[in-house]
Amino acid sequence: MGLKLRISLMLFFCFFGLESMSQNITNVDANPNGNCIIISFEMDKPSDVNISYSINDGFFQDIPNKYIKKLPVQDTKYKYMWDVVEQFGEFIFSDVIFKIDLIGYVPHPFSVSMDCQVYFSPGNLQYNISSNIWRFSDNQYEILEKAASDSKSWIDLFGWGTSGWDSGAKAFQPNSTSGNNRDYHPGGYIAAFKLNYDGSSSQNPNSSAGRNLVGKYANADWGVYNSQRISSKYGEQRAWRTLTKNEWQYLLEGRKNSSSLHQNSYIENVYGLILYPDDWDINANFKKSHYSLDEWCIMEGKGAIFLPFKTGHYYGSREYWSSTSAGVDDAFGLSFNHIYGIARSRASLVRLVSNVKEEIQIQDISFYEVKKEQGKENVSVVKHKTFNVPKTEDFYGVTLGYLIPNENFYIDAGGVQIGIKYEPIFKGGFGLNLGANMSLWAGADTTFGLSLNLPLYGEFHANFSKSFSLFAFGGIGLSYIDYTVPQYDTTLNKNDTKEGSFGFMTYDFGGGIRCKNMQVRYTTSIYKNDFIQQMISLDFFLPNSEISSSTYGSNTQTYNTRSRSGTPSYYRHNYSGHPSVPTKSIHEK
């Protein structure tokens, strides 16, 4: 075919000091080799990696397996060969950025009933008392063993049903410390037995003893109530929940080959329960009483789950909550491979799951951006959304308006308006509509005036795309008017004018359409005497106040990465030449 790969290699090496489980990636290089590119690097310890690339636009795409192969490893030196000619044709694109991700936890399905599979969260649930923030632990083997009585910062031990939802229970906050089991009943405690008129007692059908963290009381479940607030290094945006007692039981005993899909073991010096996913190869050589971090890194990349119970000890361990009540004083929990009733006030661990059938997709952990700020590495985790922007830039601009003449208005006036606008937009598309406007209006005969108007509106934007939205607003308008109106002078027996000024407040509401940096608004103002006035406005915003492409359809959270795994590293390489295939085909998944 006469293919010729034209590559002029200029290496722009930008190493950010990747750290993961004390793992470093060093000596990264990329060189042409015939029709291929050899990507080489070194790691402290063996680990699976994912290599992706970007072409000038920040969009990273995995290299298909059929075009890349791993060359023999020499000690800790890794090499991958990418057959770019076979993938893209005669020429390679220019200015390529490679990104190397260490593969951490990769979600795999676990059956918890005959017709339900779940994904486990990448770590135990943790809560920060002082800042009211939820997160998953940095690693699956991390266990703080901290309750509210022990710590004023991060805790991972909770009383039952302490999601923060005020259901009527006396103890519902994550940092609740009550030692009374009956304070932890969602909806409030109601006795299991009632006293009859004849002095006997009988079962109380309204008793709170049988209330579970589902249905009417589902918000008492840590995952259900806080799904949108839990941060994670993997960037999941999922509908989290706690397993029921029956689901824990099925996970351990009901699955096919269930006895081969869990074991008690150590990860380094942490003792706990390892759970294997439904698709685990039961013939794999993973049945040991102790695993190193290197071995565990490979196992969790294949979907294994670790539930830590205690650091360095077998006995005196903690339990994991279920969402199922076990009577007046207890709720069911899991310890190692046993399920039993646990006092509701006992500080225990929480591991959340999400249903596989949920429409929320597993996030691609390659969507990371590494930044350096004052000597600290930070990871911005991009969480994909589907409709409205959680946060946009603030809008600054000018407005031009036309006051529609209205014979019902007390001076029968129309006019024009010019002003400045400031529209800060917050999470979920909510925002404010503020500014200052000067209006010149005129009516029949010699009626005219000059006014200053200050709009104080709340508004909501439904952002259908980066450049198009519909919005509605409402609030009050504060105005001050200098006016001249016709008046008959009885003294002089002739027509004259009267001058004056006054201030007033209106109730305003309306809506409009926004397209890129321009929007059209229609405003209705109601005066104190029920007079109504309408105005059409055209607003122009500064170019840099357009919705940011980095925030549209995403939610960015930043975490310090010095102790977090799965952090990517970027390496930029520049190749001369041009693509021989359309850009569209390069970006297609």
pLDDT (tens digit per residue) in 484-531: 766 666 666 666 667 777 778 889 999 999 888 889 999 988 887 677
User: Encoding tokens for residue 459?
Assistant: 């508004």
The sheet carrying 68-70 orders its strands as 25-33, 36-43, 77-82, 68-70
Q: What is the dihedral of CA 250, 251, 257, 260, to 10 degrees?
A: -140
The pLDDT score that the predictor gives to residue 48 is 67
Residue length of the chain: 589
DSSP designation for 74: B
Average pLDDT over residues 126-135: 91
Choose the most confident range, by mean pLDDT, from 6-10, 115-119, 446-450.
Answer: 115-119
Please state the φ and ψ torsions of residue 87, each to the nearest 5 degrees.
Answer: -80, -40
The pLDDT score that the predictor gives to residue 496 is 60
Per the model's pLDDT, the better-predicted residue between 307 and 549 turns out to be 307
State the Cα–Cα distance between residues 280 and 66, nearest whole angstrom.
24
Average pLDDT over residues 66-91: 82
- Write the DSSP assignment of 167-189 as a string of letters: SS-S--STT-----GGGG-TT--
Angle at 231 between CA 227 and CA 236, to 5 degrees: 70
Distance of CA 544 to the CA centre of its chain: 25
Per the model's pLDDT, the better-predicted residue between 462 and 586 turns out to be 462
Q: What is the dihedral of CA 85, 88, 91, 95, to 10 degrees?
A: -110
- Write the DSSP assignment of 210-249 as a string of letters: G--SSGGGGGGSHHHHHTTTEE-TT-----EEPPPHHHHH
Q: What pTM does this model have?
A: 0.51
Given CA atoms 300, 305, 310, 313 in this order, what sign does their dihedral have?
Answer: negative
The pLDDT score that the predictor gives to residue 78 is 85
Per the model's pLDDT, the better-predicted residue between 493 and 72 turns out to be 72
- Span 318-376, pLDDT tens digits: 899 999 999 999 999 998 889 999 999 999 999 999 998 754 333 332 222 333 333 33
Per the model's pLDDT, the better-predicted residue between 195 and 481 turns out to be 481
User: Encoding tokens for residue 438?
Assistant: 């000067």
> How many CB atoms are closer than 10 A to CB 245?
20
- pLDDT above 90 for 300: no
Please state the φ and ψ torsions of residue 556, each to the nearest 5 degrees.
Answer: -100, 130
The pLDDT score that the predictor gives to residue 269 is 87
- Span 227-237, pLDDT tens digits: 888 876 555 56
In terms of phi and psi (left: phi > 0; alpha: psi -120 to 50; beta: otherwise), the region of 303 is: left
